[in-house]
Structure 1
């Protein structure tokens, strides 16, 4: 979605915050929101990111530039949220054991997400590195590439430049990847229950 930052009645920042709140409340994966503004000041992009937008486009923008920016937002990995093959190997293909591990991963993912959300920035970079490492360990069991990438991005940020604005954006991205995994695990658990 492209949101004009200066729309009347509800501007793009307010709209994005409302969308992100709804996604959070309903535990839905995030949609892509791009801010659109004539204000090309560097702080404007920061303001868009702080509101929860994925990026900011500046007017005027041509179709070629728009196409390139949209292409850059496509996930590099394939659409599959996770892969159950690793669990099949771990369990020798035992469906009951696979089901039990899926439930354990779901519960662990939920607890880790709550812990991430409750983690105050004042705890410093090491707390976020430790949290990302813990989440990544569980994500690797089911090859949840998007979540693994999000953990690694958060770890890099904490090692290189612990900027609070970037921390908030990376943490939100990680939370959204965790919600996607949670929903995919729930679908897989239902599927295994019906088999």
Structure 2
């Protein structure tokens, strides 16, 4: 959905295709354009940080609503982009507390919520909490640009053209039984069109592999003593990161494990969880090989 040739604003330096000039943070503060991001997962943090840079915005990133509230006490931000579901303090509660603080004053901080849920009742929760707009994960670069343009003017979000990506042949990884299983590559061309540049895709894949490997390691202790709610929380976290890539093999494997999670016996949840961990590690190995070719 992005133009094949990116327009260049007057006075804006020309950069190589796919390169990103980091916005100046102090200048962004002075002009009221510094954006605060509240997001708990490193993959989503990496994606939105790169997307904002491509659009010409500087940002500060916090890990939850508690950190975001503390940051808002120190700096005057031009906009808040918050995940709706976070530990410690959710995006909904964060928005409500900000609106309570603003009562009786002239200040109104634009708040954009981000949610993986598209049900009308979930989107209504964003409005009820005091958010101005709601984005659906994973957010395309063009969509983010359009939403920010509502608050910063139509010409303030710089448009960036997608670049060509490297074609990567399939690589093999072991399945849960030890037999080789073809690896289905991530569609790098599609990702570049969505996220805005090959450098963004490279950074996103590196962050994805690193953070999801930690999540997979965190599954083992959860399988020793089965607690359904903790497994659900783990699944929500990993599925949220996987949805950014829109990678069907991983999403399907996670959904297979989630299905009927409340009625499966603990022994079945444990054995299926070990199989899932093995599948995830094999996919991450393949994605890591793909990302290495983008260096």
TM-score normalised by L of structure 2: 0.37
CA gap of 1:84–1:136, structure 2 versus 1, over 3 A, is: farther
CA gap of 1:191–1:101, structure 2 versus 1, over 3 A, is: same
Please tell me whether the aligned partners of residues 110 and 182 of structure 1 are also in contact (alpha carbons under 8 angstroms).
yes
Query: What per-residue deviation string (whole Å, max 9, x for no partner) do you get for residues 162-188 of structure 1?
Result: 312211222122112211221112111
Please tell me whether the aligned partners of residues 154 and 170 of structure 1 are also in contact (alpha carbons under 8 angstroms).
yes
1: CA distance, partners of 2:292 / 2:253 = 26
CA gap of 1:173–1:31, structure 2 versus 1, over 3 A, is: closer
* Unaligned 5+ runs, structure 2: 1-172
- Deviation, structure 1 residue 139: 1.5
- Partner of residue 88, structure 1: 192
Runs of 4+ aligned residues of structure 1 deviating over 6 Å after TM superposition are: none
- Partner of residue 217, structure 2: 114
Question: Does the alignment pair 1:192 with 2:284?
Answer: no
Match of 1:176 among 266, 275, 278: 278
- Partner of residue 99, structure 1: 202
1:80 is paired with a residue whose SS is coil
- Deviation, structure 1 residue 31: 5.2
Please tell me whether the aligned partners of residues 132 and 151 of structure 1 are also in contact (alpha carbons under 8 angstroms).
yes
Instruction: Give the number of equivalent residue pairs.
Output: 122
2: CA distance, partners of 1:140 / 1:188 = 18
| Alpha-carbon RMSD | 2.6
CA gap of 1:85–1:121, structure 2 versus 1, over 3 A, is: farther
CA gap of 1:86–1:112, structure 2 versus 1, over 3 A, is: farther
- Partner of residue 30, structure 1: 175
Please tell me whether the aligned partners of residues 102 and 189 of structure 1 are also in contact (alpha carbons under 8 angstroms).
yes
CA gap of 1:83–1:129, structure 2 versus 1, over 3 A, is: farther
2: CA distance, partners of 1:104 / 1:87 = 15
CA gap of 1:86–1:116, structure 2 versus 1, over 3 A, is: farther
- Partner of residue 129, structure 1: 232
CA gap of 1:129–1:31, structure 2 versus 1, over 3 A, is: closer
2: CA distance, partners of 1:121 / 1:31 = 19
1: CA distance, partners of 2:234 / 2:200 = 27
- Deviation, structure 1 residue 143: 2.6
CA gap of 1:105–1:155, structure 2 versus 1, over 3 A, is: same
- Deviation, structure 1 residue 90: 3.5
1: CA distance, partners of 2:249 / 2:292 = 22
Query: What per-residue deviation string (whole Å, max 9, x for no partner) do you get for residues 8-55 of structure 1?
Result: xxxxxxxxxxxxxxxxxxxx633547xxxxxxxxxxxxxxxxxxxxxx
* Unaligned 5+ runs, structure 1: 1-27, 34-74
Relative to structure 2, which stretch is displaced further, 81-90 or 120-129? Answer: 81-90
- Deviation, structure 1 residue 116: 1.0
- Deviation, structure 1 residue 153: 2.0
- Deviation, structure 1 residue 113: 0.6
Please tell me whether the aligned partners of residues 223 and 270 of structure 2 are also in contact (alpha carbons under 8 angstroms).
no
- Partner of residue 52, structure 1: none
